Amino acid sequence: MKHIKLKTVNLKNHPTLNERWLQDIIADDPSILGIGDVILKDKERIHIGAGRLDLLLQDADGHGRYEVEIQLGATDESHIIRTIEYWDIERRKYPQYDHTAVIVAEDITSRFLNVVGLFNGFIPIMAIQATAIETPEGVGLQFTKVLDTVKLGYIEEDEEVSEPTDRNYWEKRGTKKTVALADRILEISKSFLPAAEFSYNKYYIGFWVDGRACNFAVCRPQKSALRLEIRLPQTEETEEAISNAELDMLDYDKRWGSYRIKLSENDISEKEETINSLLKQAYELRK
């Protein structure tokens, strides 16, 4: 097959394709950024005394918001400050959402990555590089996520400093029946991880393997059911598998990078194969 060398377009120096053009393209179809199933919430959002936020996107499920700033050419210090400022304004006004600052630029410089790396984890920020490619039909856009938000570990995931509890604690917090459902999850996990054991902590029941925490998933027994949280990237394939199995997915927790699923005794008995597959995938990624 013949190789065709792609011709990139420098938008910053282009006579007609400007920042507004790029902004309109993203606004018409925010999914092209590759940050998930998002919709346009607002455009050119006015912040008194701080300027205009290019785009405000929101997860289709309504839980997360993204403050998006667009810059042609290379990232610079003023752009970083402006993006963080908009993120801070929005999160203070609307604390019920999970907010993420997003910078879209043609050139994400190494200096920018070094600076942002100092506070990423404290400020959730993404950097997406936009590349314009000329074709016979027109100009196409490719978006590459250069920097993603840092996924946080579970609260007190460091078992050496966590506050340990025991089975009795969880039987009181949940019930003996829902703790027994957690036991079923452990049995399923042993099919691909024979050394797995439970570690009872104040906030969750985690996994312990060969003397170390290995929380590819955690269990939270409740009064009427078991909440299983499986650490997997959010993808259409995973959500389709959960939907096809008719599992009760509560939501996807972007802060912790986990699918939260509500399980009954029948769910575990009838949908064990899907649960096993999800747990195994999470463990393989965790290794």
Q: What's the CA gap between 6 and 203, in Å, rounded?
A: 52
> So where are the chain's domains?
7-147, 167-286
Record the pTM: 0.57
pLDDT digits (tens, 9 = 90+) for 103-121: 998 888 888 777 777 776 6
pLDDT digits (tens, 9 = 90+) for 52-91: 899 999 987 667 899 999 988 888 878 888 889 999 999 8
Q: What's the CA gap between 256 and 232, in Å, rounded?
A: 10
Q: What's the CA gap between 77 and 56, in Å, rounded?
A: 21
Q: Positive or negative CA dihedral for 23, 28, 30, 33?
A: negative
In this chain, the answer to whether the domains covering 7-147 and 167-286 adopt an identical fold is no
Short-list 156, 160, 159, 131, CA closest to 143: 131
Q: How does pLDDT run along the chain (287 residues), one tens digit per residue?
A: 777 777 887 888 888 888 898 999 999 999 899 888 888 999 989 887 778 899 999 987 667 899 999 988 888 878 888 889 999 999 888 888 889 999 998 888 888 777 777 776 678 888 899 888 888 888 888 888 888 775 555 544 444 445 678 999 999 989 999 999 999 999 999 999 999 999 998 889 999 998 888 999 999 999 899 999 999 998 889 999 999 999 999 888 877 789 999 999 999 999 999 999 999 999 998 87
- Fold assignment, 7-147: Trna Endonuclease; Chain: A, domain 1 (3.40.1350)
Exposure string over 176-193, b if 16+ CB within 10 A, otherwise e: eebbebbebbeebbeeeb
Strand partners, 67: 56, 101
- Fold assignment, 167-286: Aspartate Aminotransferase, domain 1 (3.90.1150)
